[in-house]
Each structure stands twice: as C-alpha cells, then as structure tokens.
A and B are shown apart, each in its own frame.
Chain A
Amino acid sequence: MKKGRILTGIYGLDDLMDGGFRENTVNSICGGPGVGKTTFALQYSLFGLDRGEKVLYVSFEMSERQIIRDCKDIGWVAIKDYIDDGDLKIVHIFGEDLEFPSLDITEIIKKSIPGHHPRIVIDPFTYPTFYSDKEKRKSISTIFQDLRTLGTTLVVLEEPSDGFSATNYGIPGENPHMNRFLATPLYLSDTVLFLQNLGFGEMYDRTIRIMKHRGSKHGEGIYPYSIETGLGIVLRASKKQIDRITPKTKFDDKFKEALEKTKSMGKLGEKLAVRIESLRKNWIHDENPQPILELVLEE
C-alpha cells in the first residue's frame, strides 16, 4: 500500500487511482439512481472495518436497520458484529433537521466517534439544505475543510433523476440540473468518481470515470464494473488501461541528459532539476519526452 493512501476497497479501482484516496481528503461519488453509490460507500466502509479501522456512516436517508438488511442481502453479514463492537457507528438524521449544516455535521461526527478515525461516509450529501447559493458554497467549503481534519471522507452525491435525457445521459457538465445541485460539492472535492448506467445490459453500460483525483495520477478512460453478491463492486480495467498510467522508465536517459544540462544553470537549474526529476518518476507516456524537456530547458 502506498504511503498516505486509503484504499477504496473497490476491486480493481486502486490501481487506477495511484493507490487509492489520499489521506484526509473529501472524495465524492456521483451518479443517478441504481448505479451502486450506496454499495460503493458500504464497500469502502467494510474494507476499513475488516482491517480494524473505525468507520462513521452518516446516513441522510437509510436507517441503520435498512443498511444492515442491504448489507446482508449482498452477503456482508459481518456488519452487525461491527456495529455491536462499536467499530461502525451509523448516524441516521434528516438533512432538513440541520439548522446550520456547516456546524451541525461536524459536531455530529465529532460526538459520534471521538478521536481520529480514517473513514467517514456521508450518504447522501444532497439532502442538507442551505439558505442561498452564496451561503451554500461557503458552508460546503467549511464542512469539507473540517472533514479533512477528521478523517478520509466519502461523500455520496445523488444526481437528480430528471437530469437524465436522451442527449446527456447524466454526464456532468452536459447536464443543467447537475450545475444547480451538484457543481459546488464536486468542485470542492479532492476526488470525483462518476458512476453511470445506461441500462442496455451491455459491458460498457455500467461504468466508472475518475473525473478528478487531486495530486495523483489516475486513469482517464471509462471502466466497466459489475455488482457481485458477496463482493460488491468489481471493476474490470484491461492490462493496457492500467499500463497507460504506469510510469515508464525507458526514457530515463533523456531525463538524465536534461538533468545534466540544468547543472550549468545555477540556482534556477537546481529548482528545474527537482521538477524534471519529478516528471521522470511520473512519466506515463509512451512518447519520447525530448520535445517537452527541450521546451522546459529553453524557457
């Protein structure tokens, strides 16, 4: 496991996300009805619980009883034991009951599980209501800032079902409803995963796209997934797709040449060398980096 990373627990996803979510970040999953958002959130929780971590699950929709039942149906029977042992705390509240979401959510989390706990889930985050758009952005920003200090959070965002049409299929940016309801949390999140289901029953109907993953390399394709009883979400990326985000070492000599040239450039060269070294470690392309390196050295 890469240092500073929290594994998502989704089979096949971490390879495409540079080793998982970054520690102490807010990560959103977004999608329409029936794509598996709650399954994703529960799988993320259970992965941590199985490894002795503590999890707080804030549910604005499903009660503890419903969550236990859904988990049992998918084959995750251990959930009841985790609740009984105090490792998993499920808090069921209504978004409308929060008077000041930016204060209340953080307070609820702090009171529910004291101390540092790496996994927090808010499912769904669409329910808290805000007075105005201006207040909404500030509140969400405050909530996310606080969440980052408390642990690694997974936020579930529901895409309104009326946002679907024959032309946009709920793709963010193409959907006017998305802008109104989801744009702010998506902009403020560190990672955004977009789950989709076209509903034709073919391999590429259920797909995950990694829309953003701050400070990390990530796959930029669409990856088919299925929801399997007992396992949950299983992603099927091809070897070629994984290879596309794996750093390549075959151009190391080009980077070495560039690094040599920086030595004669004084203080600026030293700073440039750090950047070039970082580029070398993360060069994922099959193309020769020579033109880019020349451009950098010329400047």
Chain B
Amino acid sequence: MKIKLEDTLDQLYEIEGIEACMLYRIDGVPITIRVPGYREYLLETMFWLEKHISRVLGEMNREGLKETIFYFRNNRILIVPSSKSTVLVTIAKAEANQQLISLEALRATRIIEDNI
C-alpha cells in the first residue's frame, strides 16, 4: 500500500511544470513529499500549508468544494482532498499545463483513496 502511494507521488512529480507535490494529513502533518532540494519560496509555501491546511479543508467542506487553487507568486497551488484523512497538494509553475495537472492530481487522489 505504501509503495503504491510513493509511486503515485513519483509519477505526479514527473509531470512537466510540477515543482513539488505533497501528501498531507488533514491536520497539516506532511506524510510524504516530493520537492526539488532547497527552494526558499517552496519552503515558505510548505510552512503556510502546514499551518493552514486544516482551516482550508474546513472551508472547502463548508462550501462543498472538491478542489481549491491558490496563487502564490508564480506558483499555482492545487489542494485536493484524497481521502477522509489525507489531502494532496501540487505546486506548479503558472505557465504549466494546468488542465493536465488537475486531471492527473484527481487521478492520483483516487489511487491514494484506494490504497490508504
């Protein structure tokens, strides 16, 4: 099960334009992450996510949203709940193929849900 999760994130991370992807628990604890070494702006975004993910998920639940997108600097941050207790986050470059990334992220969440 765990290998499947890691593989799913590896495949998502390989998509062109994705800078980082992370699987968080709903309380903001990172379960597994894919990041390209040290990038200050990514670190800031990750700190923000850890602090705010539970609140964002609460709002999404209230509004009945299936995904949420934030724009930080030149990054598009896609937040998609992947199971009852996990959430998948992708950080992509603004010029990346957003439709492809959204579809692939959605596909990944289904695999995660089946394997967690």
Contact = CB atoms under 8 A, between A and B. Distances in A.
A297 interface: no
A240 B58 CA distance: 32
B37 interface: yes
A3 B54 CA distance: 43
A203 B29 CA distance: 14
Contacts of B31: 204, 221-222
A171 interface: yes
Nearest to A236: B2
Interface in B26-81: 26-27, 29-32, 37, 54-55, 58
A278 interface: no
Interface in B67-116: 83-86, 115-116
B19 interface: no
B86 A202 contact: yes
A204 B54 contact: no
Contacts of A168: 27
B116 A198 contact: no
A166 interface: yes
Chain B interface size range = 20 to 34
Interface residues of A, number: 21
Contact of B25 (A198, A201, A238, A287): A198
B116 A202 contact: yes
Contacts, number: 48
Nearest to B10: A240
Nearest to B2: A238
B116 A204 contact: yes
Given A171-B29, A198-B25, A203-B116, A287 B86 contact: no
A53 to B, nearest CB: 33
B3 A200 contact: no
Contacts of A166: 54, 58
A171 B27 contact: yes
A167 interface: yes
A209 B29 CA distance: 10
Contacts of B30: 221-222
Nearest to A171: B27
Nearest to A287: B37
A167 B54 contact: yes
A202 B29 CA distance: 15
A135 B69 CA distance: 51
A23 interface: no
Contact of A202 (B3, B54, B84): B84
B81 to A, nearest CB: 12
B25 A204 contact: yes
Contacts of A201: 84
B6 A240 contact: yes
Contact of A198 (B3, B32, B85): B85
B26 A198 contact: yes
B85 A204 contact: yes
Nearest to A169: B27
Interface string A136-176: 00000000000000000000000000000011110100000
Given A200-B84, A204-B25, 8 more contacts: A166-B58, A171-B29, A198-B25, A198-B27, A202-B85, A203-B116, A222-B29, A238-B6
- Chain A to chain B: the 5 pairs with minimum beta-carbon distance, closest first: A169-B27, A200-B84, A200-B85, A203-B116, A238-B2
Interface of A: 166-169, 171, 198, 200-205, 207, 209, 221-222, 224, 236, 238, 240, 287
13 contacts: A166-B54, A167-B54, A167-B55, A198-B85, A201-B84, A202-B84, A203-B2, A204-B85, A209-B29, A224-B2, A238-B6, A240-B6, A287-B37
